[in-house]
Structure formats: structure tokens, C-alpha cells
Structure 1
């Protein structure tokens, strides 16, 4: 029988990790966000763009995405992860599958935009209280 307390602790640790990671992203603290990946971590968030590998490439991609997608637009984005499912892998890592929504708000606009809806597929390395993303692939519901 699986250790329920250990699984509960891991679930809470993962939720706290995602909260800190997404708040770093939404706060424009891209270096802090990139540091949540392993040194050789893989990140793919658009099916039309090659995946990034490594913290430096992830950091460069984030700055480029912000610059080309939003430029001087004073948007505030909020990333919401929910319905997290954690599955152990044979190598000791954990596969995390979560639903994601991105909420975009602009000054003076009362109604935020809620898009996209996606599924986040992560492989997490967990060492005690430390969590890092080994790989992240995001699939978008509107592309299915």
C-alpha cells in the first residue's frame, strides 16, 4: 500500500513549487523562473517553436516571447495550474500533469481575457524539499 502521507506531502510541495514558479513568471522574474528547471531542462510551450534546452535558452526564449508578444503593452498575466496528477517514474522522477489557464488583464479594462486553456506535462525531479522541472511540454486545447 502506498504511503499516503508521503504522497500528500509531495502534492503540497508540488503545489507550493508551482505557485512560486508561476508568480516568478507573472512577475517578470524570468531568471528566477528559469532557475526552477534543471541545468539541461527542456521547455516547449508553443507547438510552432522548437523546444528550449537549458536555463540560458529558456531565459532567452522568455525575454524574446515577452518582447515580441507584448512589447510595451502593460499586460498583467496570471498563470493558474490545477487538477495536478503526480505519477512516479521508474527513474525516481515524477510525471506531473496539470490543467493550466492564463488570465491576461490590462489597465483600464475591466474584463480580463482568459486564454489559453492548456495541459502542462512536466517531469519533476524531487530531492527533499527541492523540486526542479526536467522537462515541460505544454499542449493547448485549441490545437487538439
Structure 2
């Protein structure tokens, strides 16, 4: 008979789980509403977002703000041509013009990693809806966040988005 080794993971209280859920419930609608400065205020000054595989990493509120302003676009503008995320960055195109996007999280796992640090892992998908009501999706992902507590508030220190498709950055978004 073989023995199975189980790593002991600290239990998360219901209060902490709800606090993290509420943090994301405040944070992600800011991005969906393209309130980029307010969204970035939920991250540490040196916060980072990285896309894997074959993607890019941006660090610091200023670098993140510049990239987000260039890519997030405006839902009131005409729908952007069919373009991939990689080509949108290369050609400086607002990838999400003409689209309302929503972030959907599931299977959240929270692991305390010190007195004021949490590792949070969840699965995510992004839906995009155009003015005609057509819905499309980005490739699914696993997201790993490091949240830190500063003066009693949670902030994202880092976010690593691992796309389930190795060709995610070359996928045409919202195809016709």
C-alpha cells in the first residue's frame, strides 16, 4: 500500500475569503468601465501584470497605465478591425474599441503566505460583447495574484496570467 503525501495548507476563514471576493468585485469592474487610474490604485506602485506564454510583462503603475490606455479603447467607438493582441501592440491599436468586456473568475484558491501576503489562484475568462450583441471569448486562463495588505487594505502586487492556448496572443479577437 502506498502512502499519499498531503501538504498542509493553512485554512482560510470565511471572512478572509469574502474579503478577497469583495476586493475583486471592486477591482475588476473598474477595469471593465475603463477607469484605469482607479483600477491601478488597487495595485501597489510597483505592481506588475505578466502574460504567459510568449506574452509580455509590465511593471509599475505608469507603464501599466500607458499600455492600458493604448489597448483598452472605448466601447462607443466603432468596432476595431479583426486583430490579434500581439498585432494590436505592434501597430498601436486599441484592441477593445467597440466592445464591452467582462471578467469572470472561478475556483478561487487563497493561500496565506505571511502576515500581510496572500497567494490567490483562480481560473478566468474574458467575454466581449459588441454593439449588435454578439458575444465572443478570449482564451481561458489561470491567474496567479499576490495580494498584499497595506494599512488594512488589499492591493495586487503581481498578477501572472497563464493562457491555456500557447497561441493566445495571435488569436483574432471578436471574429466576424
Equivalent-residue separation in structure 2 for 1:134 and 1:70 (angstroms):
25
- Equivalenced residue count is 140
Aligned twin of 1:65 = 71
For residues 20-39 of structure 1, the aligned pairs below 5 Å read 20-39=26-45
Q: Which runs of 4+ in 1 moved over 2 A?
A: 45-50, 126-129
After TM superposition, give the deviation of residue 116 of structure 1 in Å.
2.2
**CA gap 1:8/1:50 in 2 versus in 1, 3 angstroms:** same
Find 1:89's aligned residue among 110, 113, 137: 113
Aligned twin of 2:18 = 12
Equivalent-residue separation in structure 2 for 1:128 and 1:99 (angstroms):
28
Runs of at least 5 residues in structure 2 that lack an aligned partner in the other structure: 1-8, 74-92, 168-176
Find 2:136's aligned residue among 106, 109, 113: 113
**CA gap 1:91/1:16 in 2 versus in 1, 3 angstroms:** closer
TM-score with structure 1 length normalisation? Answer: 0.85
Q: Over alpha carbons, which structure has the higher Rg?
A: 2
After TM superposition, give the deviation of residue 69 of structure 1 in Å.
4.1
Matched residue SS, 1:116: coil
Aligned twin of 1:74 = 98
Equivalent-residue separation in structure 1 for 2:145 and 2:31 (angstroms):
16
Note the aligned Cα RMSD (angstroms).
2.4
Which structure shows the higher helix fraction? 1
**CA gap 1:82/1:74 in 2 versus in 1, 3 angstroms:** same
Find 1:130's aligned residue among 153, 156, 163: 153
**CA gap 1:94/1:103 in 2 versus in 1, 3 angstroms:** same
Equivalent-residue separation in structure 2 for 1:143 and 1:25 (angstroms):
25
8 Å CA contact retained: 1:42, 1:134: yes
**CA gap 1:63/1:45 in 2 versus in 1, 3 angstroms:** farther
Find 1:50's aligned residue among 47, 56, 59: 56
